[in-house]
Chains A and B, each alone.
Chain A
Amino acid sequence: MSGTPTTVTMRSSTSATRRAPLLAAYAWLVFAFIYLPIIVLIVYSFNRDGVGGFPPRHLTLDWYRQLFGDGAIWTSVLNSLIVAACSVALSLTLGLLAALALDRASFPGKSLFRRLVLLPLILPGIITGLSLLMFAVYAGAHLSLVTVFLGHGTALISVTTTELFAGLQKMDRAQEEASLDLGATPLQTFWRVTLPNLKLSLIAAGLLIFTLSMDEIAVTFFLIGRDNTLPLEIWGRLRRGITPEINAISTLIFAASVILIVIWFQLRTRAQRKAH
């Protein structure tokens, strides 16, 4: 067979990867540290005798049965889903516009805008949460799921912006020029050319925002009204006393997260491959 793929030269030292047994062992220890608590959590969701104790002796699905009958939890799940969906919509819209603005327009305060939009992700949630709370109070707004989703959507704008900005930079500018050259208006070009190119980035960003919103506690803590989101419902339960039912819902959350992240990862790698 003639013609080695040129990747032979790029394989560098990986084929001669030195065995580093100590480092490997350490790395696996770190993995164990990261995963063990979660595994313990999952195992004990099946434990009849409660959250503690060792070893777990009697396995049962009772806690899951109890969970499925627990109306308050599922109401909060619904609330979380609604909030998350609205946050996604808000964040994607504003984030898309912001990404376009950063990519194509120059305006005073551009770098300030960039940093400002990143702040909610870098600052501890309590600061953003309290700031928004004060703003809500001064604006005379009632705390409710609406305030929550406005908070989430605003805080998560930069997630979209970062993702889409990268996507825009990678996009072949000539495609838009070709579209205009062929007679399409800027709006048509945006709809038919720009947006499809960003499709994967948009979905990936949307998934990420969805997950972050579903899990958000710190900001939500201060903006919540009477209706609870899932994390706050769990939080309330924790104050009252812990039961393996909480393990059960946690396990389900874990499972859902894993599915989401696998999907997200597939999308991301596909988006990256497409750009090449």
Chain B
Amino acid sequence: MSLGSAIPQPLEEERAARPLLEVRAVAKRFGNHEVLKGISLTIAAGEFITLLGESGSGKTTMLRLIAGFEQPSSGEIWMNGSRLDTLPPYKRRVNTVFQQYALFPHLNVRDNVAYGLRVTNTPSNEIDTRVTDALRMVKMESFTSAQPATLSGGQQQRVALARALVNRPLLLLLDEPLSALDANLRKEMQSELKSLQREVGITFLFVTHDQDEAMALSDRIALLRNGALEQVASPREIYSHPATAYTAQFIGQANLLRAEVRGGVATCGALGWPTAVSDGAAVFSLRPEAIRLADAVANSVTDTPAAEVRFSAVVKQQLYGGASELLEIDCGGQTLRVKIPPRGPSSGKQDFSFFAHDAVPVSE
């Protein structure tokens, strides 16, 4: 690969055995406000990991701690076996793609991209080659003499990316780089970012509040809530087995069923299903797409025998969505959301069903 030593995509086990960055019990206080509460996280070399969270969850602070623009109030950050948080930003092998791109307004595209190489005294012929390759990689090679102010948002973002990557950092930090782009451009850039990361093999730490984006791009998602890690897992894992009610509702949609469990049966209003959870109060997350119309079940390919829960409910709202429909149904006073393939206007009382194993127990 033209950007230099590209680490081939490691397998899961290899990743776990080769931590690149270790965040050890890092906390950060601003005055009286504790923005990050004792975060511990290990990032493996070559992975695409996303810090996901609402605004105020601390994700940007975490990023800035790793980049070096803030100091941890307590805890340590290690990279490849040596202490990172004691180094100033210009000595870390970490580069950042800033949210507003932060291109140097007084330099053209080429000089922007070459900046990091110039200040570290790279020989000039090597600079030329690397800059050209970096710009080609982000498809901006015809813009070398352009001034940043003349570029569109998406173009500036690419230049910012090239400027960071050309230095071959061990870790690339991306601070909500796509949030300023419109929807279509965003989708396009997401796809490009993912393939770029695979091609180049550099570890990406991506920060966003958009859970769709996180799921599409990441090898792993670290969900931050109020300064603490809620759950760290692959997108599939986090989606199908959310650990908490918050996770279930933040990533994708969820119906939260507050049930009473007695003797292996969970009861919530008019619904009841078998569960392995021990007796007492419990919360279950049930995805809207896990609920289907009862008559549709008969046509589906039969699963391995699984406990199927049937119930009736009244359709109160129908929201058409093109590829699917969202129904709001009333089941004995409880409102549930159901996602089904579009099938024309529905109303009145209908039969629904879901598989018991789709009701995932979550902690509150």
Contacts and interface: CB of A to CB of B under 8 A. Distances in A.
Answer yes or no: A and B touching, Cβ < 8 Å.
Answer: yes
A3 interface: yes
A8 interface: yes
Contacts, number: 29
Contacts of A16: 69-71
Interface string B207-244: 00000000000000000001000000000000000000
* Interface of A, helix, strand, loop or mixed by DSSP: loop
Nearest to B32: A1
Interface string B6-34: 00000000000000000000000010010
9 contacts: A2-B56, A3-B55, A4-B33, A4-B35, A4-B56, A5-B56, A6-B55, A8-B30, A8-B61
A191 B58 CA distance: 49
B177 to A, nearest CB: 14
Of B35, B69, B71, the most chain A CB neighbours within 10 A belong to B69
Interface in A1-30: 1-6, 8-9, 11-13, 15-16
A9 B35 CA distance: 11
A122 B58 CA distance: 50
Contacts of B56: 2-6, 8
A15 B33 contact: no
Contact of A8 (B35, B69, B71, B226): B35
Interface string B52-68: 00011010110000000
Interface residue tally of chain A, by bracket? 10 to 19
A3 B33 CA distance: 10
B245 to A, nearest CB: 15
A24 B61 CA distance: 28
Nearest to A9: B60
Interface residues of B, number: 12
Contacts of A5: 56
Contacts of B71: 16
A12 B69 CA distance: 7
Given A5-B56, A16-B69, 7 more contacts: A2-B56, A3-B56, A6-B55, A8-B30, A8-B60, A9-B60, A15-B70
Nearest to A18: B88
A4 B35 CA distance: 7
B30 A15 contact: yes
Contacts of A12: 69
A2 B70 contact: no
A30 B319 CA distance: 68
Interface string A124-156: 000000000000000000000000000000000
Nearest to B88: A18
A8 B71 CA distance: 14
B122 to A, nearest CB: 26
A93 B55 CA distance: 49
A11 B71 CA distance: 13
A11 B69 CA distance: 10
The 10 closest A-B pairs by CB, nearest first: A4-B56, A3-B56, A9-B60, A2-B226, A13-B69, A16-B70, A4-B35, A6-B55, A16-B71, A16-B69
Nearest to B58: A4
Nearest to A7: B30
B121 to A, nearest CB: 23
A16 B30 CA distance: 11
B70 A1 contact: no
B64 to A, nearest CB: 8
Interface string B301-312: 000000000000
Given A9-B60, A15-B70, A16-B70, A1 B55 contact: no
A5 B60 CA distance: 12
A2 B71 CA distance: 22
A86 to B, nearest CB: 45
Contacts of A15: 30, 70
A2 B33 CA distance: 10
A197 B47 CA distance: 55
Contacts of B30: 4, 8, 11, 15
B251 to A, nearest CB: 19
Contacts of A2: 56, 226
A146 B192 CA distance: 73
Contacts of B61: 8-9
A9 B63 CA distance: 10
A1 B69 contact: no
B355 to A, nearest CB: 35
Contacts of B226: 2
B96 to A, nearest CB: 12
A19 to B, nearest CB: 13
A57 to B, nearest CB: 49
A76 B56 CA distance: 61
